[in-house]
Structure 1
């Protein structure tokens, strides 16, 4: 009997491994591989396991998923994004749920089933969307921020849904309003109770566990907390996932958050895989083939309907067409928490198996389409933007004459507008190109020479007269587009002065190689401005300050790179390290030119002797005991250099 159970289990794992490897190559999410494994090994396939056999283990996956979600739940972050999270997010969830439920009721579903269907359709895939946005470096873009805000509220909305689902299971009896209020009250009381106890107990518990310095104990403690809080909420008549979410939320603000997340991830991923396998076992391909046309129509209705709702809401919130369209396409799929809702609804007998199968298939196909939709969302948004704002792309009638004094500004954010104001005061002619249609319209109405267009397109730059202009200033900070724009502008105008603003100096050399005349890193220039004010207040002559600042810029900010390391230093960056030479040091008595600095791959910044600091000492400097050498370089190289200097 034992071998009869282990053999199918091993075969199921092999199918899962092969499916994940295959779908990864096709660029599809691993969730689809788990669902395929469930179909093959479940009642619709080889019938190795029943869905009931997998249910208990699969439920643990949901518990750990909700615990991880709680760890990511940050009250300060939520408050900072409150307008879009609670405004846009709540509007999207409630409107999608209401329309979906109304359509379900129209097609003959009960009110309870309609609420479940609406809730499942209203949710999008947090895991897939965040992963894809991160891969494209779009998390900090406006459409990425809007998508994350909606996803954050959707994750938050799962909590009341987990409270309501057990209440809806009334065995055919009408659900009384007082039952809903009682259930919500009980859920709130459990939440407050867990928060009160956990706020005091959990930090002390993990302090004790951390003192033991045992990884095994930390992992066991994490699992015990997640499962025990889940068991408590189940005991009071709610779902285990709700308790796990509360525990994660309590520990999310603690110093152990990262360690907890790292420890729980392997268990979560494995058990979530089993959960999605159990969802795959729910699929009945007989029903799929019989009702394929309904599934196809439902898929189109869900993807188009969700996208349209998000788009209209964002336009109502004043977002431009491009951002609204990109966010709508990004959020058009059905999410992994929809599987949780559907699985619980089937367990509580709230939903017919046929409807559940159709919705699961819609979710699976929409998630399969998600990578393509997200990757092309910005491009589709741009095309919609251009069709709506085509009048902004017409050949401009420049209010200034194109001449060698003309300054072209790419980007009209705060930096671009500040530069334009100073140029206007000095009566220097300028033209601006920007991609935000709302900003362009406002500026044009105010009489500013601002035009809509993509700086990556040479034809638009040609219309602006880049080859005859005197200077180009690039003020946006999209690292991917910067090099492309600078290189293209340098090819179009070999003699043009090109100034580029960046956040830091990580791409300084690359931009200069692409053709930038000067790169101005915000963070380092801010440091220099502060230094200049400090020196000026200390009585240093202005001419000397300006000379020192110019020297720093000419030397690529070399003295702003090395810093003494601290407890939370980034060990990928160059650091300063002081090496004191004792009497027996190997290099005592040698000249600086005798040392293999190129092989050591560190830089000698200065030598300190007798309280005085000598920057860039001469090659014939004779090293003596008591000298302090200031070395700059990557931490491991500095460590090896110190060992060489002391021991040879």
Structure 2
């Protein structure tokens, strides 16, 4: 049966999908996090936005509450993907961050907020629920910002993820305690929750792999995708049936599948839904902001918002500085974790349902939580800028002269190997990396590595590249590689610039930008594969190496000459060629 065009469901679906199709590319072009765009769309399309203006009703959601279920699924999907990425072994290695730092952060922030609420004269039950709820931080927004900036595996990212993961794990007992406050059987609720998580763990180890095996045997990607979604929704539903947050069940499922042979394929299967459903969640958050109500109680809401943000940011910053993290990193994490979470709304809602929070207190708490959650992306971006700005802590150090050295920009996996080979041949080098904590560790180990952000033009001036023998660019950001290559070539026309390229297409772009040599990873892996096959087939090593070098020179010449992607030879050429 066709869905009528004029139906409210069709209109809401078109608004959400249209927002996803417009916001992501538009904000990416502006180099702004799409998180902000989705929240703004929610504010505009919500019941308190454009729908209040005459003639603009078609641009407003008819039933924003209908987005609650897919929004919750979006958060569950995000934690499912996080579980796949973390793995049980990685959690063991992060246990000091998760259990130590995460527990201290949640407890200290909750105590500070509780003290402020107690001074405001609220009853103890309301103080307890609201303090814990507002002490939580947004996993969805935090992970999105860290992933978009490529910092998920940096010291900043690892520390923030450890704290957020503890909060997600703590959500289950928090909800159980709130439910027990309404007179329920806490022991029974706890047993049900533990049993549900145990069942999910067993099913992921025993039933999920055969399901994925059968789906893989069909060689149909849509069936594998369906199997992945069944596992995700089933684990989330089982947790919800036991009184837990669906996202906790999804996180457990992801952790159990992280050691599976199908982990990467499951990640690829659910990835197309992750961004869309997370966008639905953010639109839902934005739609809950009643701008008129905020304006009517402007100063109390703004005061509560400032108080919560100030207490949390100050507590997190102090804790991280005591753990000897740099000021920039501590500031970034403090602002990233300052805003309450989407789960704060869940905990406050549970407190209202249990009768622990009533009347105007509930409305004020929801207003503060919603406003601070809407501000979370801006706070995260401000923290990232603050970390970059305070990098002068290390930038102020004297930079060694680059004269006669090879400068390696990006000291990750590729940069380290280049440095090792230069050491083997007695060639001096100087590396630049953007992870300040890793730089400090390497310098203590005696490595000539300095801190620097390649996005800052002044870095190139301070390196004095005109006196260097060569520059090797190994960072994995394609756009930044193009920009750096062009910028360095404009300033140093005679300098040797060797650049890591993603593929032949990218190598052609880099040659056009001024690279002396661009090394495409896909081409090199193909040549190495051909070399291994020929040697294993018994072809002498000498002729194999000579032919590989000849083929590499041929491909390099074709890329340099065209500055464009390699094209396959015409079919008639293949037919006309004869085997030697």
Q: How does 1:80-91 map to 2 (within 5 A)?
A: 80-82=89-91, 83-84=93-94, 86-87=98-99, 88-91=101-104
- Structure 1: how far apart are the matches of 2:156 and 2:472? 25
Matched, 1:306 2:319: no
Pair 1:77 & 2:86 matched: yes
Q: Is residue 2:489 matched to residue 1:490?
A: yes
- Aligned pairs for 1:495-510 (under 5 A) are 495-502=494-501, 504-505=503-504, 507-510=506-509
Deviation at 1:517, TM superposition (A): 0.8
Q: SS where residue 546 of structure 1 aligns?
A: helix
Confirm or deny: 8 A CA contact 1:407 1:471 kept in the other structure: yes
Partner of 1:408: 407
What is the rounded CA distance, in whole Å, between the counterparts of 1:354 and 1:13 in structure 2? 31
Could you tell me how far apart the structure 2 residues matched to 1:168 and 1:99 are? Answer: 22
Pairing partner for 2:175 from 141, 162, 176: 162
Structure 2 unaligned blocks of 5 or more: 1-5, 28-33, 54-62, 559-564
CA 452–118 in structure 1, closer or farther in 2 if over 3 Å, else same: same
Contact 2:38 2:282 in 1 (8 A): no
- SS of the residue corresponding to residue 390 of structure 2 reads helix
Q: Secondary structure at the match of 1:158?
A: helix
Deviations 1:46-73 (Å, cap 9, x if unpaired)?
xxxxxxxx99978756765676467546
Indicate if the aligned counterparts of 1:71 and 1:261 stay in contact, CA closer than 8 A: no
Shift of residue 377 of structure 1?
Answer: 3.5
SS in 1 for 2:338: coil
CA distance in 1, matches of 2:439, 2:247: 47
| 1:519 alignment partner in structure 2 | 518
In the alignment, which of 380, 383, 391 is matched to residue 389 of structure 2? Answer: 383
Classify 1:304/1:209 alpha carbon distance in 2 versus 1 (closer, same or farther; 3 Å).
Answer: same
Give the drift of 1:167: 0.7
In structure 2, C-alpha distance between the alignment counterparts of 1:503 and 1:259, rounded to whole Å: 23
| Structure number with bigger Rg | 1
> Which of 348, 351, 354 is the equivalent residue of 2:354?
348
Aligned in 2, Cα 1:29/1:474: closer, same or farther, shift over 3 Å?
A: closer
1:584 maps to none
The answer to whether structure 1 residue 326 and structure 2 residue 325 are counterparts is: no
Aligned counterparts of 1:243 and 1:229: Cα–Cα separation in 2: 7
1:518 Cα offset (Å): 1.0
> 2:561 corresponds to which residue?
none
User: Partners in 1 of 2:482 and 2:190 — Cα distance?
Assistant: 55
Deviations 1:66-108 (A, max 9, x none): 7646754636734254144624444433443343334434443
RMSD between superposed Cα atoms in Å: 5.5
Aligned partners of 1:63 and 1:227 also within 8 Å: no
Shift of 1:256: 8.3
Flag the 1:490–1:116 CA change in 2: closer, same or farther, 3 A. Answer: same
Give CA-to-partner distance per residue, 1:437-481, whole Å, 9 cap, x none. 444445555665544333444544334332233222223323232
1:223–1:109: structure 2 CA closer, same or farther, 3 Å change rule? farther
Shift of 1:249: 6.5
Secondary structure of 2:467's counterpart equals coil
Alignment correspondent of 1:554: 553
Q: What's 1:122 paired with?
A: 135
State the 1:423 CA deviation.
Answer: 4.0
User: Is the Cα contact below 8 Å between 1:166 and 1:348 reproduced in 2?
Assistant: yes
**What is the SS of the residue equivalent to 2:555?**
coil
Residue pairs, 1:250-329, within 5 angstroms: 292-315=298-321, 319-329=325-335
Alignment partners' CA distance in 1, 2:441 and 2:577 = 58
- Residues of 2 paired with 1:139 and 1:310: CA distance? 19
Answer whether contact 2:113 2:311 (CA < 8 A) is retained. no
SS at match of 2:302: helix
The alignment partner of 2:396 has SS state of helix
Give the whole-Å Cα distance in 1 for the aligned partners of 2:423 and 2:577. 50
CA–CA separation in structure 2 for the residues paired with 1:446 and 1:208? 50
3-state DSSP of counterpart to 2:464: coil
Deviations 1:318-349 (A, max 9, x none): 65544443333333322222212212211211
Structure 1, unpaired ranges of 5+: 1-6, 46-53, 172-178, 560-572, 577-596, 615-648
Say which SS state the counterpart of residue 556 (structure 1) adopts. helix
Q: Distance in 2 between matches of 1:193 and 1:32?
A: 40
The answer as to whether partners of 2:331 and 2:386 remain within 8 angstroms in 1 is yes
Match of 1:637 in 2: none
The structure, 1 or 2, with the larger RCO (C-alpha pairs under 8 Å, 6+ apart) is: 2
For residues 545 and 36 of structure 1, what CA distance do their matches in structure 2 show? 64
User: How many residues align structurally?
Assistant: 537
Deviation sequence 1:340-359 (CA, Å, 0-9, x none): 22122112111133332222
Whether 1:357 and 2:363 are equivalent positions in the alignment is yes
Conserved? CA contact 1:123–1:337, under 8 Å: yes
SS of corresponding position for 1:467: helix
Q: Secondary structure at the match of 2:519?
A: strand
**CA pair 108-284 structure 1, distance change in 2 beyond 3 A:** farther
Q: TM-score, normalised by structure 2?
A: 0.70
Between stretches 302-311 and 265-274, larger displacement belongs to 265-274
* SS of 1:507 mapped into structure 2: helix
Deviations 1:370-418 (A, max 9, x none): 33333443322111221x33531x5x464x8x3xx43223234454455
1:77 and 1:37 mapped to 2: Cα distance? 36
1:224-263 equivalences in 2 (<5 Å): 238=243, 241=246
Please give the residue correspondences for 1:569-608 in structure 2 after superposition, counting only pairs within 5 Å: none
Alpha-carbon distance change, 168 to 330 in structure 1, aligned in 2, over 3 angstroms? same
Moved more, 496-505 or 312-321: 312-321
CA distance in 1, matches of 2:229, 2:426: 66
Structure 1 Cα separation of the partners of residues 211 and 461 of structure 2: 66
Aligned-partner SS, 2:500: strand
Give the corresponding residue for 2:59: none
Change (3 A) 1:206 1:464: closer
User: 1:416 and 1:209 mapped to 2: Cα distance?
Assistant: 40
Instruction: Identify if the C-alpha distance between structure 1 residues 455 and 113 changes in structure 2 by more than 3 Å, giving closer, same or farther.
Output: same
Alpha-carbon distance between aligned partners in 1 of 2:417 and 2:441, rounded to the nearest angstrom: 16
What CA distance in whole angstroms lies between the structure 2 residues aligned with 1:113 and 1:367?
A: 20
Report the CA distance shift for 1:196/1:456 in structure 2 as closer, same or farther (over 3 A): closer
